[in-house]
């Protein structure tokens, strides 16, 4: 019985989606703190806190959506919708996860904990109201990613580039629209967002504050083709397969996954090498 209950909890927490909390680590990596153990330790702790908080949000959302989930061919297997986990148990676990997330976020300081609190509020508002409002739903999801970036920055602490903030928000918005709307509407929206995201990332790589951190080098510009390919590949998959969860798409499509990994390695190496040469 305990084994089944624990398995249900893990499924309800959706650990596969913890990948999204990598946004918390981005400020540390792009600020050249990837090898700074104390700074990365704080950033990782805050990222873990967001993992717990997001999992708690999934449980709350599953409780609220249990009736509609039961009519869905895929979502009906979620723990609450399938009856494997009771509503009461889901709320208890969600409360425990929220509390654990709050405690863990303090490793990054009071400011990081405050940002996490803002994320929790946005998550709950999304589950209760915002997910039913067209366009606003995607904006709320993208705001959650923006808060991850801010939390990662204040945990170090480091001043985060305004270009990185805008680029992160636009990328999150691009990914948020994908699984929520029909292709007839998505065509114009994602095309616009894809173009603006690429331009914003390019401007970030050559921005004065970015090159200054890299000892005057604009080598980060070399990663733009990877970002271009990644965006174009995602748009191709979206057009070919329709609305898909971005995380599932990433793990399923080898070309996209390899591109993301290569970009992380390339960008991280450039920041460490060029930043260390200052």
Q: For residues 181 and 55, state if they share a domain.
A: no
Residue 28: partners with Cβ closer than 8 Å, 6 or more residues away: 34, 36, 39, 40, 43, 152, 155, 156, 158
Which of residues 116, 142, 160 is at a domain's end?
A: 160
Q: For residues 34 and 128, state if they share a domain.
A: yes
Residue predicted with more confidence, 222 or 241: 222
Reported confidence tier of residue 277, pLDDT bands at 50, 70, 90: low
Which of residues 98, 126, 160 is at a domain's end?
A: 160
Instruction: Identify the three-state secondary structure at position 71.
Output: coil
Q: What is the mean pLDDT of residues 129-133?
A: 91
pTM: 0.90
Q: For residues 48 and 90, state if they share a domain.
A: yes
Distance CA 243, CA 177 (A): 9
Reported confidence tier of residue 5, pLDDT bands at 50, 70, 90: confident
Structural domain including 10 reads 1-160
Q: For residues 70 and 176, state if they share a domain.
A: no
Q: Does residue 18 contact residue 54 with C-beta atoms inside 8 Å?
A: yes
Percent of the chain with pLDDT over 90: 66
Joined together, the tokens standing for residue 3 give 């084994």
Q: For residues 141 and 193, state if they share a domain.
A: no
Tell me the average pLDDT of the chain: 90
How many other CB atoms are found less than 10 A from the CB of residue 180? 15
Residue 156: per-residue pLDDT: 92
Q: For residues 62 and 136, state if they share a domain.
A: yes
Closest to 270 (Cα-Cα) out of 29, 27, 43: 29
Q: Does residue 179 contact residue 245 with C-beta atoms inside 8 Å?
A: yes
Which of residues 160, 177, 212 is at a domain's end?
A: 160
Residue 262: per-residue pLDDT: 96
Residue 64 above 90 pLDDT?
Answer: yes
pLDDT tens across 215-225, in order? 888 999 999 99
Q: For residues 240 and 198, state if they share a domain.
A: yes
Q: For residues 148 and 184, state if they share a domain.
A: no
Task: Give the domain CATH number at 48.
Answer: 1.10.357.140
Residue predicted with more confidence, 186 or 254: 254
Reported confidence tier of residue 245, pLDDT bands at 50, 70, 90: confident
Q: For residues 167 and 154, state if they share a domain.
A: no
Q: For residues 167 and 219, state if they share a domain.
A: yes
Residue 47: per-residue pLDDT: 97
Task: Give 173-235 as a DSSP string.
Answer: HHHHHTTTS-HHHHHHHHHHHHHHHHHHHHHHHHSHHHHHHTTT--GGGGGHHHHHHHHHHHH
């Amino acid at each position: 019985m305990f084994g089944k209950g624990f398995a249900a909890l893990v499924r309800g927490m959706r650990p596969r989606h913890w990948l999204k909390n990598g946004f918390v680590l981005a400020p540390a990596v792009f600020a050249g703190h990837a090898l700074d153990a104390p700074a990365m330790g704080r950033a990782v702790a805050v990222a873990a806190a967001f993992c717990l908080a997001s999992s708690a949000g999934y449980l709350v959302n599953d409780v609220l959506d249990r009736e509609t989930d039961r009519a869905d061919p895929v979502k009906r297997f979620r723990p609450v919708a399938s009856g494997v986990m009771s509503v009461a148990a889901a709320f208890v676990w969600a409360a425990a996860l929220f509390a654990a997330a709050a405690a863990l976020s303090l490793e990054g300081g009071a400011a990081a904990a405050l940002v996490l609190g803002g994320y929790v509020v946005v998550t709950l508002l999304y589950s209760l109201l915002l997910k039913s409002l067209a366009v606003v739903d995607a904006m709320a999801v993208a705001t959650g990613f923006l808060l991850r970036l801010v939390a990662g920055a204040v945990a170090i602490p480091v001043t985060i580039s305004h270009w990185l903030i805008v680029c992160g928000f636009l990328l999150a918005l691009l990914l948020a629209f994908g699984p929520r709307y029909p292709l007839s509407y998505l065509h114009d929206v994602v095309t616009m967002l894809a173009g603006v995201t690429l331009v914003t990332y390019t401007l970030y790589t050559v921005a004065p504050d970015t090159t200054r951190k890299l000892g005057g080098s604009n080598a980060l510009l070399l990663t733009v083709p990877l970002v271009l390919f990644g965006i174009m590949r995602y748009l191709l998959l979206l057009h070919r397969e329709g609305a898909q969860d971005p995380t599932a798409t990433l793990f399923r499509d080898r070309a996209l996954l390899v591109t993301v990994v290569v970009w992380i390695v390339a960008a991280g190496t450039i920041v460490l090498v060029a930043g260390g040469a200052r």
